[in-house]
Amino acid sequence: MVVLNKIYTRTGDAGQTALGNGARVDKHSARVTAYGTVDELNATLGMARLHTEGAMDSQLAMIQNDLFDLGADLCRPDMEKDAEAEYPPLRMIAAQVDRLEAEIDAMNDRLDPLRSFILPGGSPAAAYLHLCRTVARRAERLAVELSTVETVNPAAVKYLNRLSDWFFVAARICNDEGRADVLWVPGANR
């Protein structure tokens, strides 16, 4: 259980922060940038949820919780030392990726195939989900970049990759199951 009785600590005033294992790193480190972008994605998703309800909102709530799991995973380096940790670190697992894939497939079954690229927009929910998609792609790029210099849980990267696809298909669902998608017209303004 998390107990926060004081919000500011002043420990980051010199430009460093603590990772999940207690190590101090610069706030601009690749790891902090990666999990900070996951946090930004979660906040962006909160904006999208202002425009959703029912099953879509329930699925987005699950994703928001997953994103906290993902942030916890990314803020904890040294996966090889997980067994030695006082508390087992929270890591993303394949089942979370599998759930996204099943939900993508179920949503996509309701849509006609795309015959054009689509522009971000349409309904407010769809527009915000497209924004979530692009922030998820940035988070994925940053996690992949981090993985070139430090150990990153492969399930975390897979989750981000599927998540951006999930947001794309969900945006189409929120655009009257694709009927209100805004289609790209190549060269329309030449």
Domain layout of the chain by residue ranges:
24-182
Give kind and range of the element (H or E) at residue 183.
strand 182-183
CATH of domain 24-182: 1.20.1200.10
Angle at 108 between CA 170 and CA 181, to 5 degrees: 55
| Alpha carbon separation from 121 to 96, 168, 172, 183 (Å, rounded) | 28, 11, 10, 10
Confidence class of residue 103 from pLDDT cuts 50, 70 and 90? very high
- Does residue 189 surpass a pLDDT of 80? yes
CA distance 23 to 124: 41
Each residue's pLDDT tens digit, 119-162: 999 999 999 999 999 999 999 999 999 999 999 999 999 999 99
CA distance 165 to 188: 27
> Radius of gyration of the chain from Cα atoms?
18
What is the average per-residue pLDDT within 72-92? 85
Backbone φ/ψ region at 177: left (φ over 0), alpha (ψ -120 to 50), beta: left
